[in-house]
Structure 1
Amino acid sequence: MFRISAVVAAVALATVTAAAPAWASGQVSVVHFDLAAHQQPENITLEPDGSADLTFNGARQVARVTRDGRITILAQLPGGVSGIVRTGDGTLYVNVNAGAQTGVYRLGHGAATLFAPLPAGFVNGLALDGRTLYATDSSAGQVWRIPLSTGKAAVWAQGGPLAKVSGFGSNGIKVHDGAVWVSNTDTGMLLRIPVRHDGSAGPIQTRATGLAGIDDFTFDGPVVLAAINSASRLAVIRPDGSHTIALTAADGLSNPTSIAVRGKSVYVASAAYRTQLDPNLLITRF
């Protein structure tokens, strides 16, 4: 059972005391971004010092937000930027949608280069499993597998529960406990795809339903924390598929897109795509 227990140290351009829900104690720290500059965070990964690396989709940028609230633009990309992961040596990989230049880009030493070209669909979530990347295409209902050793992408899983209905199919993605987990935004499902011994995809399993508007998510032990974009909520999904709402717009969420966990700290990025109000990074503690 999760409970917010304390305030995270100041991690903001502006730190506010939110109206805390009944199960919360203390403050919530919030970094507010510039909507006019299209600073709408789509995805997140964390640095060892707790800084957050974010993709600003509309601005076509990757930015770093430090513990004292400083924002540094790390890269300007040729198209909209979505998923992001960090390897152990500090290299960042990001998904970019840019027509013929669509694919996974590698950021290192101040430069961004196309690492793995992908067909122009809508490349969205990105996950890392050791030396292998997995990327979702929300338009084609696919999961791509990309070894870091070669950068050669191949479709790993597709269709069925991954397919879109009218907007976004396979979206968020994480690797956990021998499987690739994927959210389908259109159907409101959380899916699990076992990784077989030979690296191929096993049968797609539905692990939770009734999550309309689910975007990206993360694991905290066996529990999933999911961003419910359209409803501006954070859902806590238990191993049996049941789920409850932990945070809402009243707590500062504004179309949340992605979540990261470091120890007891939980980072929730909100892009304000629909609300057009206060894109932000909310940080609290469970």
Structure 2
Amino acid sequence: MFKPIAVVTLAAALLGLQPAAATTSPYDDVRVAAHFDLASGQQPENIALAPSGVAYVTFAVARQVARVAPDGSTRILATLPAPAAGSKTPVLGFPLTSGIVRDGGTLYFLYATGTADLTGVWRLRPGGRPERIAALPATGVPNGLALDERTGNLYIADSVLGTIWRVSKSGGRAQAWSTAPELASTGFLGANGLKLRGGAVWVTNLDRGTILRLPIDHRGNAGKPQTRATGLAGIDDFAFTGHGNQLLATLNGSSTVVLVQGDGTSKPILTPANGLQNPTSLAVRGTTAYILSAAYLTQKDPNLILARLPR
């Protein structure tokens, strides 16, 4: 089985982030839409949706970007170059393919290798080959990614350096947009999932179990972080539901998806009973949530789950 020792280390770290979780779900319309090949390293890390119902995902361990059709069939679009022998990605140890966003037919995604020649923001155009458009520090682990369609800027959460980077989607030099202390880890991974909403950058901190909101001021600079939710042990990615600032968030270690209200209160809505296996990311379209599980800890069934959410 494709199982580098660093994945075992990652699983052990996540094991320590498991809170008590509900054993049943209030939602009945939940199904597994796709199963991925654990033996080939197909452990999904992040997701971007197309209007057709197609999902584009990154496979963290396999160094791949893939297209998942509505019928669950999976096609590999690109495999990123392996780093030089002996290279180690900070904290994790293995090359990580992480955040992904879609801009028309073009995909942007992140790759961390611990080497200066490969770590950074990558782009894949239709029918093309993956190319790095911006370098990021080899000492970091770029993780969450979001695109500001108004300005054309990409925002990147670095889980090791506790930094939010900003770079144009056309490429170039990345700028450290925020290094606020609230983004830092407490020993494993800090700033993680990242989204844009209402003139602000929203970001999770896995170690601290928090969701933060950083306003973007009129000059494009970062405002002071506002803590919007706490007590979310092992939080990874999140997505807004379309109802104000209400959002869904994945808690990796406990294999749970929680509903977080605008006032910061939360409750579990999906659990291992629904097929979740260490969920890493999710996206929402209409009343459907697309949830990826990487099975880092369970080592059983990395998958894509669709859940119909109540209006």
What is the TM-score with the length of structure 2 in the denominator? 0.83
In structure 2, the CA distance between the partners of 1:168 and 1:22, relative to structure 1 (3 Å rule), is: closer
Q: Are 2:279 and 2:292, in contact at CA under 8 Å, matched by a contact in 1?
A: yes
Q: Are 1:171 and 1:216, in contact at CA under 8 Å, matched by a contact in 2?
A: yes
Residue 32 (structure 1) aligns with: 35
Aligned to 2:130, the other structure's residue is in SS state: strand
What displacement does 1:26 show?
4.1
Aligned to 1:197, the other structure's residue is in SS state: coil
What displacement does 1:31 show?
1.0
What displacement does 1:171 show?
0.5
Partner AA of 2:48 in structure 1? T
Which of 201, 215, 238 is residue 194 of structure 1 equivalent to? Answer: 215
Residue 268 (structure 2) aligns with: 245
1-side partners of 2:177 and 2:25: how far apart? 43
2-side partners of 1:278 and 1:59: how far apart? 15
Deviations 1:65-119 (A, max 9, x none): 10122211011113420000001x2110000012111000000123100011111
Matches within 5 A, 1:150-189: 150-189=171-210
Q: Are 2:30 and 2:305, in contact at CA under 8 Å, matched by a contact in 1?
A: no
Unaligned regions of 5+ residues in structure 2, if any?
Answer: 1-22, 82-94
Is structure 2 residue 298 aligned with structure 1 residue 275? Answer: yes
Aligned residues: 266
Is structure 2 residue 277 aligned with structure 1 residue 262? Answer: no
2-side partners of 1:80 and 1:277: how far apart? 20
Partner AA of 2:195 in structure 1? K
Residue 235 (structure 2) aligns with: 214
Is structure 2 residue 126 aligned with structure 1 residue 105? Answer: no
In structure 2, the CA distance between the partners of 1:22 and 1:171, relative to structure 1 (3 Å rule), is: closer
Q: Are 2:166 and 2:177, in contact at CA under 8 Å, matched by a contact in 1?
A: yes
1-side partners of 2:291 and 2:163: how far apart? 25
2-side partners of 1:26 and 1:155: how far apart? 42
2-side partners of 1:200 and 1:22: how far apart? 41
Aligned to 1:59, the other structure's residue is in SS state: coil
Q: Are 1:144 and 1:157, in contact at CA under 8 Å, matched by a contact in 2?
A: yes
Deviations 1:24-81 (A, max 9, x none): 2445233111111111000000112011100001000001110122211011113420
Which of 161, 182, 187 is residue 140 of structure 1 equivalent to? Answer: 161
2-side partners of 1:22 and 1:58: how far apart? 30
2-side partners of 1:180 and 1:118: how far apart? 19
Aligned to 2:39, the other structure's residue is in SS state: helix
1-side partners of 2:292 and 2:30: how far apart? 17
What displacement does 1:136 show?
0.9
Which of 91, 95, 98 is residue 106 of structure 2 equivalent to? Answer: 91
2-side partners of 1:278 and 1:272: how far apart? 6
Is structure 2 residue 98 aligned with structure 1 residue 77? Answer: no
Partner AA of 2:43 in structure 1? Q
Partner AA of 2:160 in structure 1? S
Residue 232 (structure 1) aligns with: 255
1-side partners of 2:53 and 2:33: how far apart? 14
Residue 13 (structure 1) aligns with: none
Partner AA of 1:51 in structure 2? V
Is structure 2 residue 67 aligned with structure 1 residue 49? Answer: no
2-side partners of 1:71 and 1:150: how far apart? 29
Of all paired residues, the percent bearing the same amino acid is 51
Residue 5 (structure 1) aligns with: none
Partner AA of 2:283 in structure 1? A
Is structure 2 residue 119 aligned with structure 1 residue 119? Answer: no
Q: Are 1:75 and 1:110, in contact at CA under 8 Å, matched by a contact in 2?
A: no
Q: Are 2:29 and 2:308, in contact at CA under 8 Å, matched by a contact in 1?
A: no
Deviations 1:215-259 (A, max 9, x none): 011111221100100110001100000000000111110000000
2-side partners of 1:59 and 1:81: how far apart? 8
Partner AA of 2:165 in structure 1? W
Unaligned regions of 5+ residues in structure 1, if any?
Answer: 1-19
Deviations 1:174-200 (A, max 9, x none): 001110000000000000000001000
Deviations 1:137-193 (A, max 9, x none): 100100001122443210000131100001000000000111000000000000000
